[in-house]
Structure 1
């Protein structure tokens, strides 16, 4: 029995978890501000939309390319040290960017390099944090901790998006300075976290073999494999749908400010959903928790064709986001408790690549749809894709038997 299992305190009094949560809440705000400011900076310097896309693509591609090796390295190295090094690298990279912007010497290659550093650090940090969570909180509080982390991400994205544009108007370097400061705060918070020592690895192994071992573990466990496919399909079609609805709103005369509110309402739905996720996780079966989010999306998605009012479309976004944290809490809690500690980084790396790849490809489908057909038809095509996935998820026997808390306890010797 670990120390975290022997002494169970409320999460609000769990010093290590609170430090990690607060530090990352700050870093999420800074990161989102930078992601809004990056294309604005490139456009201001070059006037090229293609160059703006290149900088944002550099961050996303870096995360995808490094995702699988990052998970294996997180399982090999000290996870707290990985997180500290990532935050230090973020501070250095952002400091260099602030300096060249202030000096009037910013270039696109430099911005691409900074975006790559941010993407690589994110690819390493996220599996390190995910894999560390079960050692920081007791099993009985893991679902609540996961839902609070989801709320943290939604709050950070909303606040960062709002601050990014406003601070860029103050000065082109200001959003990146904010990002630098928030990552420094996260670094300091991590420095005071105390994590249980992991058993040292005695065998020499090849990184490629370790990556394959992690992928085999995911593929060997049917419920993990099935939920990974579900996450891929849902994120693919919803990312396409999101872009299509934004285009539908813009062509319907919705102002840029109102479109921003629409996007923010998606975050509001995520925050509210994260706050109610621990309760829903306790009262709903795992099958209902997972399938419910698919049916909500399937029911709400076609309604976008009935209105071009920005606030109504924003309300649809909020409704769609409401149950996603409950499904995520159910799936992630089970996966972390099922997975041996020495494989948790690789599990997170695989899932990040699956979800990130779908989120990157989905907008490409959305762009093709809005060019090929009318926005209303594009909405219905994306909604039909989600409906097909929902039907397959509903009848899937693995999800019908998805293990809950009692089944995990019975399986534990």
Structure 2
């Protein structure tokens, strides 16, 4: 661990104008996403009170994000990353605005929420790799840990703390149409900030086919055993843990604990508060010596806390466990993203990050559907218990030979 006195502060990346603009626009957009998180859950449960309806909407966003992510990684390694982010922001703004109008006219149906989610997921497939790949272009390598901690902190504040709180209040006072409208406007703010970024770098043409370039990203991951095993373990954890969690949490809070929309927003917000603290901890402490082991310890701890949701008597204790689980995940994620950005060549970053997303996210939509079915068949509490314990058990991947050695292994 490096000397804290010589390590850049968490605010150091904001001295770079282009990064500051991108980060600021993303901050507003992510605030809108936090409002959207509560609004989409409540609207889906309003349109179709069954947990499966919400599961279909969430899966509809996740599936194209996974299926198209590899293509998205190739595209952002061929085209300007800023352009990809701009296009994604404008697409998502249009999709959310359309649904806001339908809700305002009292004519929204579940299938329309599913269509909007598909459009959202398609844009995610390009914006995710583009955002991650653009950061190393705008900042020196020694500031990447702080940049990732800053992004994680702002994301947790907006998506999981302030946004859900505002979303819960907004839905309770003015309804879901206004909440969706706010999200649409936030994407336009982000697009305006990106348009002001001066950086116009375009990756050099490789002369290779799309499939050949995609294979380079796959080969990079497969040749590094620790990374390949980590991603496989994370994929299974998302199938049994994160996927069901997205569906089970609003069902638990609203239908089992009978809490209000505002309380649901506050439960989501507790995750954001913990995520902020975890991000600040990484920025202050830096990366640990035994990075892979620490990451998996954090992820396993998160699973155990999720299992504890099976026994909560009220929403406030649920919020406490959600906070602990989210903080552990965020801590592990910031370490992972920093390691990836500091070890992967810049010209491969888009493809490697998209292949990583495909591997980790492929089973998440399946987990969402399983979560919805499990809540219907065995109840949200039993589903949370099974989900959390299985997710925690994924930490046993560390027993696989080579899972802890960060070297290339042909």
Point out where structure 1 has 5 or more consecutive residues left out of the alignment: 1-7, 409-413
Matched-pair contact (CA < 8 Å) for 2:55–2:369: no
CA–CA distance in structure 2, aligned partners of residues 228 and 254 of structure 1: 37
Q: Is 1:176 paired with 2:175? A: no
Residues 285, 126 of structure 1: CA spacing in aligned structure 2 closer, same or farther, 3 A cutoff? same
| Distance in 2 between residues matched to 1:300 and 1:381, nearest whole Å | 12
Query: Is 2:230–2:397's contact at 8 Å kept on the other side of the alignment?
Result: no
1:389 to 385, 391, 394: 394
Q: 2:15 aligns with which of 6, 13, 16?
A: 13
In 1, Cα distance between equivalents of 2:257 and 2:187: 38
C-alpha separation in 2, matches of 1:262 and 1:214: 38
Q: 1:74-93, CA deviations, whole angstroms, 9 ceiling, x for partnerless residues?
A: 11111111112222223334
Q: Displacement, 1:261?
A: 3.2
C-alpha separation in 2, matches of 1:242 and 1:323? 17
The 5 Å alignment of 1:13-162 reads: 13-38=15-40, 40-41=42-43, 54-99=56-101, 111-158=113-160, 159-162=162-165
Higher RCO, 1 or 2 (CA under 8 Å, sep at least 6)? 2
User: Residues 51 and 214 from structure 1, CA distance in 2 versus in 1: closer, same or farther, beyond 3 angstroms?
Assistant: same
Structure 2: give runs of 5+ residues left out of the alignment.
1-8
**How many pairs were matched up?**
394
2:97/2:184 contact within 8 Å kept: yes
- What is the SS of the residue equivalent to 2:198? coil
CA distance 1:162–1:137, shift in 2 (3 Å):
same
Deviates more, 1:264-273 or 1:317-326: 317-326
Q: 1:26 to 1:245 in 2, by over 3 A?
A: closer
Q: Is the 8 A contact 1:101 1:173 kept in 2?
A: yes
Query: CA contact under 8 A between 1:35 and 1:56: conserved in structure 2?
Result: no
Distance in 1 separating the partners of 2:321 and 2:241: 13
User: What are the Cα deviations for residues 266-304 of structure 1, in whole angstroms up to 9, with x where unaligned?
Assistant: 222112111111233345531343132034235545544
The residue aligned with 2:369 is: 364
CA distance in 1, matches of 2:193, 2:229: 36
1:190 equivalenced with 2:194 (yes/no)? yes
Shift of 1:122: 1.7
> What TM-score does the superposition give when structure 2 sets the normalisation length?
0.82
Say whether the 8 Å CA contact 2:85–2:130 is kept in structure 1. yes
The reply on whether 1:278 has 2:280 as its aligned counterpart is no
Of 320-329 and 116-125, deviating more is 320-329
In 2, the alpha carbon distance for the partners of 1:313 and 1:68 equals 36
Pairwise CA distance, 1:222: 1.6
Query: In the alignment, is the contact (CA less than 8 A) between 1:147 and 1:326 conserved in 2?
Result: no
Worse-superposed segment, 189-198 or 292-301 = 292-301
CA change 1:251–1:28 in 2 (3 A) is closer
- SS of 1:316 mapped into structure 2: helix
Kept in 2, the 8 Å contact 1:70–1:124? The answer is: yes
What is the correspondence of 1:263-412 to structure 2 with a 5 Å cutoff? 263-297=268-302, 300-304=305-309, 307-370=312-375, 373=378, 378-393=383-398, 395-402=399-406
Query: How far has the Cα of 1:23 moved from its partner?
Result: 0.6
Q: Secondary structure of 2:205's partner?
A: coil
Q: CA deviation at 1:116?
A: 2.7
Corresponding residue number in structure 2 for 1:237: 240
Determine which structure has more spread, i.e. the larger CA radius of gyration. Answer: 1
CA-atom RMSD in angstroms: 3.3
In 2, are the aligned partners of 1:80 and 1:190 still within 8 Å (CA)?
yes
Give 1:126 deviation, angstroms: 1.1
State the partner residue of 2:5: none
TM-score (norm 1): 0.82
- Does structure 1 conserve the Cα–Cα contact (< 8 Å) formed by 2:297 and 2:395? no
Counterparts of 2:264 and 2:93, CA distance in 1: 32
- Separation (CA, whole Å) in 2 of partners of 1:231 and 1:335: 15
CA–CA separation in structure 1 for the residues paired with 2:307 and 2:256 = 16
Change (3 A) 1:373 1:89: closer
